[in-house]
Chains A and B, each alone.
Chain A
Amino acid sequence: GAVVSQHPSWVICKSGTSVKIECRSLDFQATTMFWYRQFPKQSLMLMATSNEGSKATYEQGVEKDKFLINHASLTLSTLTVTSAHPEDSSFYICSAPTGGARYSTDTQYFGPGTRLTVL
């Protein structure tokens, strides 16, 4: 299957700092990527849809100014958690569908996730 990478795999930061998480599609182009948040032993919560060359689409209740998304190329999307606080501590996972999400039949491939801990 297709490969999606994330960096870093884990990060610990102080409250008030900003953290950037990268999501890359390694062997295919991804015009669309998705960012999820997952709490322990819970399902994935879709935060936003990242679109190459245009603004991200955020889900209801997700703060746009807090979770900045940039999809600068066909293989890279970044999520920046600005002014992070302990309640932002979570497991963040990105995914990218092959075919650029043009087709509902496309499979989404997931990155390995980033564990964010805010002290």
Chain B
Amino acid sequence: AQSVAQPEDQVNVAEGNPLTVKCTYSVSGNPYLFWYVQYPNRGLQFLLKYITGDNLVKGSYGFEAEFNKSQTSFHLKKPSALVSDSALYFCAVRAPYGNNRLAFGKGNQVVVIP
């Protein structure tokens, strides 16, 4: 079964500094990878996904993620963090076959310090 690891509980970053949220995955076959963001008491908002092609994926709000097959990673990045980026970030993976379920990581709380 597919799984995702987000090793850090919380990521603190100063406003204007680069932001990185780490994600590693485990799946049989080629992975389909997703990043979502959740603000307090809200549902998840889709940021970006990797299906195939270019390893660097660009998404909403200036976020991007890099797929690294050899390291089984899909880290989320933003060159310059904003205070409004403070939220809970989830990485998710889906296998290319089967029941189309998403397996989520535990989530990372990002705190951008003004």
- Give the interface of A toward B (CB within 8 A): 1, 4, 6, 32, 34, 41-44, 46, 49, 91, 93, 95, 97, 101, 103-113, 115
B100 at the interface (CB under 8 A from A): yes
Interface size, B (range) = 20 to 34
Docked-complex contact B34 and A93, CB < 8 angstroms? no
Which chain B residues lie closer than 8 Å to A112 at the CB level? 42-43
Interface string of B58-69 (1 = CB under 8 A from A): 000000000000
Min CB–CB distance A112 → chain B (angstroms): 4
Q: How many A-B residue pairs have CB under 8 A?
A: 61
A103→B94 CA distance, assembly (Å):
11
Docked-complex contact A113 and B43, CB < 8 angstroms? yes
Docked-complex contact A110 and B43, CB < 8 angstroms? yes
Which chain B residues lie closer than 8 Å to A95 at the CB level? 43-44
From known contacts A49-B99, A104-B97, A105-B32, infer whether A110 and B104 are also in contact, taking CB-CB under 8 Å: no
A58→B67 CA distance, assembly (Å):
32
Q: Which of B34, B43, B104 has the most CB of A within 10 A?
A: B43
Which chain B residues lie closer than 8 Å to A41 at the CB level? 88, 107, 109
Docked-complex contact B46 and A93, CB < 8 angstroms? no
B45 at the interface (CB under 8 A from A): yes
Docked-complex contact A6 and B43, CB < 8 angstroms? yes
- Give the interface of B toward A (CB within 8 A): 32, 34, 36, 41-46, 49, 51, 88, 90, 94-102, 104-107, 109
Q: What are 18 A-B residue pairs whose CB atoms fall within 8 Å in the complex?
A: A6-B43, A34-B101, A34-B102, A41-B107, A42-B107, A43-B90, A43-B104, A43-B105, A44-B90, A101-B100, A103-B100, A104-B94, A104-B98, A105-B49, A107-B46, A111-B43, A113-B43, A115-B41
Which chain A residues lie closer than 8 Å to B49 at the CB level? 105, 107
New contact pairs (6) apart from A95-B43, A104-B96, A110-B36, CB-CB < 8 Å? A44-B44, A46-B101, A107-B46, A107-B49, A108-B34, A110-B46
A41→B107 CA distance, assembly (Å):
8
From known contacts A41-B109, A43-B104, A43-B107, infer whether A104 and B46 are also in contact, taking CB-CB under 8 Å: no
